[in-house]
Structure 1
């Protein structure tokens, strides 16, 4: 595994600080064990290294904060290198800085200073309190005791958001340069209940309503999961976040597919512990990634893209 700085223990949940000397690395890269597969697998929301100064600012305790994680999704993807995928996962929690948001999705009501209008894009996610620096937890509880200095947001974006996206962009660009195409599989987990109007399926495949990847990828993923006996939806209730929509541009050679896994399949959602299905879902994810790796190697190259 390759780290951007000092390694973060997988068991670590609290870091001593968030200064430039902090040992917290923004992400972990795991190289493929098989060469020649244009596949990148990402887990942006499974990080659980909580900076101590963040815990001091928060009105919620660490256990409540952790319910916003995509618990151990990175571990469910352990088979990715074996099918030839490059893997990246964030080490910091999404409730601290959410890389599945644009860097200007900032909520002006959170900060003590006024924000320049050009620095802010008020999207529905920002209005809901779920911008790049979230205002509320996944359960809807306010995170912070008081408003934050604006530098808290700009520092987190510079030190966590930007390095993660720089690394992800570099992985994708390298695959496109080498193979003419790249498939990004952005992996998340979703609550088993709680979304009105949806009988939650086991998996949701998000391709931004058909715009972020070739139809063959979504179809292959759906066929693989359904053949294993799982219920799947396309794009509802999750069509793909910032990562899927930003990187998923098939005309440039990059295809992006978001995969949401129902948490009850592999974990106890109250105690935040793996359940007896964890190993089975890990095996299913390996099978899914193997299927997508096969499709990725056969994708047509957009005209004008030269391979190395």
Structure 2
């Protein structure tokens, strides 16, 4: 059975110009993919933004759309350009200029999961990569682009909150003061500073430790959709997985429900950023 590209959750009425998305929380693993990988069913999930979709499932209650991936990141990475093909994995792909993501095995069709563990024994045919991109990548991005366009039409601007999680190892430091939230705006290129300041403040008011652009500034999605000069802003949010889940077991920890409740308040604040209620005002 083919993996689903995305799941879309809409509000009863759009009252927010903000669109929330979770491109790496998909867990609709195709049986043929699980049969073809050298990894077990547990290890294959190690690069998944597990449970991020559950953390943000309250989004429609605040008048905003929530788009979440169906297909897992290990199958197709939606935060890569569709032409970021890995010559070490895909047959017939010629080497181009150096791309650190591709070189590390993290192209649009990944060669590895976390810690560089190989997904396959050998190479994949180009036809398989093209099939995944056609069935998974293109529908997801077509829908995301459509949601942002609709928001700009209705409200005059759109704000993408791209929701991710990060391994604790990626932000841990010796002083124990590592950030729990990393906000990425590609160093100011993908969103206006005023909007990013409001996003940062919403998280800081909860007492969470927040950093900007280090170690994650935003990848393809922030770069592609962030067009501040056109009133379209894209901000990547990374959450330290250890805050809400047992990373090794890939399951929620005892803090999950409390943290999910805390994020509900943050989501309410984020959904209130920018122009609101344009549709209702027009109707009146």
TM-score normalised by structure 1 residue count: 0.85
Closer/same/farther in 2, CA of residues 36 and 276 from structure 1, 3 Å limit: same
- Residue 49 of structure 2, aligned match among 56, 64, 70: 70
**Alignment map for 1:95-134 (pairs within 5 Å):** 95-112=74-91, 114-115=92-93, 122-134=98-110
Which runs of 4 or more aligned residues in structure 1 lie more than 6 Å from their structure 2 counterparts after TM superposition? none
Answer yes or no: is 1:296 the counterpart of 2:282.
no
Closer/same/farther in 2, CA of residues 96 and 79 from structure 1, 3 Å limit: same
The equivalent of 2:195 in structure 1 is 217
Answer yes or no: is 1:242 the counterpart of 2:220.
yes
Q: How many residues were matched structurally?
A: 276
How much has 1:33 moved relative to structure 2?
3.6
Higher relative contact order (CA 8 A, sep 6+): 2
C-alpha separation in 1, matches of 2:209 and 2:245: 18
The equivalent of 1:135 in structure 2 is 111
The equivalent of 1:177 in structure 2 is 153
How much has 1:283 moved relative to structure 2?
2.2
- 1:7-50 deviation line (CA, Å, top 9, x unaligned): xxxxxxxxxx33xxxxx421111002442311100000001111
C-alpha separation in 1, matches of 2:7 and 2:187: 30
CA contact (8 A) 2:170 2:215 kept: no
C-alpha separation in 2, matches of 1:146 and 1:105: 19
- Residue 33 of structure 2, aligned match among 45, 50, 54: 54
- 1:126-162 deviation line (CA, Å, top 9, x unaligned): 0111010111111211110111111110100000000
How much has 1:194 moved relative to structure 2?
4.4
For structure 1, the residue ranges without an aligned partner over 5 or more in a row are 1-16, 19-23, 299-306
CA contact (8 A) 2:15 2:62 kept: no
How much has 1:201 moved relative to structure 2?
0.9
**Alignment map for 1:187-198 (pairs within 5 Å):** 187-194=163-170
How much has 1:251 moved relative to structure 2?
1.1
TM-score normalised by structure 2 residue count: 0.92
Could you say what secondary structure the match of 1:166 adopts? helix
How much has 1:116 moved relative to structure 2?
6.0
CA contact (8 A) 2:58 2:264 kept: yes
- Residue 260 of structure 2, aligned match among 249, 259, 282: 282
Could you say what secondary structure the match of 1:134 adopts? coil
Q: CA RMSD in A?
A: 2.0
- 1:196-238 deviation line (CA, Å, top 9, x unaligned): 8786310000011011112122211222222211111000000
C-alpha separation in 1, matches of 2:178 and 2:119: 27
Closer/same/farther in 2, CA of residues 197 and 130 from structure 1, 3 Å limit: farther
For structure 2, the residue ranges without an aligned partner over 5 or more in a row are 277-281
Could you say what secondary structure the match of 1:186 adopts? strand
CA contact (8 A) 1:105 1:121 kept: no
- Residue 20 of structure 2, aligned match among 22, 36, 41: 41
